[in-house]
Every structure is written in C-alpha cells, then in structure tokens.
Amino acid sequence: MTGKNKENYNENYINYVKSISVKTNEKRTLFRAFWVGGLICVIGQSLRLLLEKVFFITGDELAGYVSMILIFIGSFLTGLGVYDRIGKYAGGGSIVPITGFANSVVSPAMEFKSEGFIYGLAAKMFTIAGPIIVFGVASSVVVGLVYYFIYWVF
C-alpha cells in the first residue's frame, strides 16, 4: 500500500483526507479581505485627493507620489513587524494592494540580512516579488501589443 510516487498514489486516502479536512471559512475571509483591502484603497484615494487639491500635483506625477507613499507605509509597517499581523487577519486584502508588494520585498530583505548585504539582502530581496515583476512586465508587453494592433486596425 505504500505508493512509490505520485503516479500510483492512494486515491482513496487522498479523498478521505479531503473529506475530513478543515475548510477555510470563506465568508469570513472574504469579508476581512474586502474591508481591509478596501480601506487601503480608500487611504490611497484620499492621498490622491489631498495631493491634488492641496499640493496641486497632477497626472503621472500624482500617481507616482501616491504609490511612493503607500510603498513607504507598507515597508515601514513590515519593518515594525505589524504588516504580517495585518496579513494574517486580512489575507488577500493586504497582499493584493501595492503595500503588499512592498511587504513581499522588504520581508525577505530583512530575513536574509544575516547572510550579508550582497548575497543575502540584495540577492534574496526579490525571491517572492520576482515572479510578480516578471509576469507583470511580460503581461504589460502582451497588453501593449494588443492595444497597438487594435489601434492600428481601427
């Protein structure tokens, strides 16, 4: 009965385990992710309005400033050891916004600092955010091409 590899695994057992596994409370996690994620977006939007109305910043520059401030907040809270607690509570709500991205860069940087600044901190900084950057850039190229051809055809 000892399955040797993935190909002859014990289907009965896996189904049995699935049937008695503890399920994630979907309603609760969705609600938490919604309000925390929403709150982060509200903060971002308020910053935007503040910068626009008070400091008269507009256009791309405005978007840049808002992102910078949010990234700073995310990194700062990670450094204080608060962001992982928010993440534990909110799940996707605090992972998806830009603050979650900041968290995913800063947390490995902090963790691997013990291996030195070059091979530790700098090399391991993007272990989690790396794929996001790669696929982000790749998908932006695809979207750009689609946009270009639609523009060209019509």
Partner 1 sequence: MKRTLIFKNKPVITATSTIAGPKESLGPIGKYIETRLDNDKFNEKTFEKAECKMLSYVIDGVIKNSNRKRESVNAILAGDLLNQIISSSYAARDFEIPYIGVYNACSTMSETLAIGSVLIDGGYMENVVCATGSHFATAERQYRYPLELGSVRPPQSQWTVTGAGATMLSKNGVGPKITMATFGRVVDFGITDANNMGAAMAPAALDTLVAHFNENNLSPKDYDLIITGDLGVFGSKILKDLAWEKGFDIFEKHIDCGALIYEPHEEEFQGGSGAGCSAVVLNSYFMDKFKNKEINKVFFLATGALLSTVSTQQGESIPCISHGVVIENRG
Q: Are 132 and 98 in contact (CB under 8 A)?
A: no
Give min distance, CB of 110 to partner 1, in A. Answer: 6
Residue 120 near residue 114, CB atoms below 8 Å: yes
Q: Is the dihedral of CA 75, 76, 81, 84 positive or negative?
A: negative
Q: Shortest Cβ distance from residue 59 to partner 1 (Å)?
A: 31
- For partner 1, which is the closer residue by CB, 66 or 112? 112
Counting every residue written for the chain, the total comes to 154
Total chain residues near partner 1 (CB under 8 A): 42
CA end-to-end span of the chain: 63
Instruction: Pick the binder of partner 1 from 54, 88, 137, 153 (CB under 8 A).
Output: 88
Positions that interact with partner 1 (CB under 8 A): 1-6, 9-11, 13-14, 17, 20-24, 29, 78-79, 81, 83-88, 90-91, 94-95, 100, 103-104, 106-108, 110-112, 114, 128
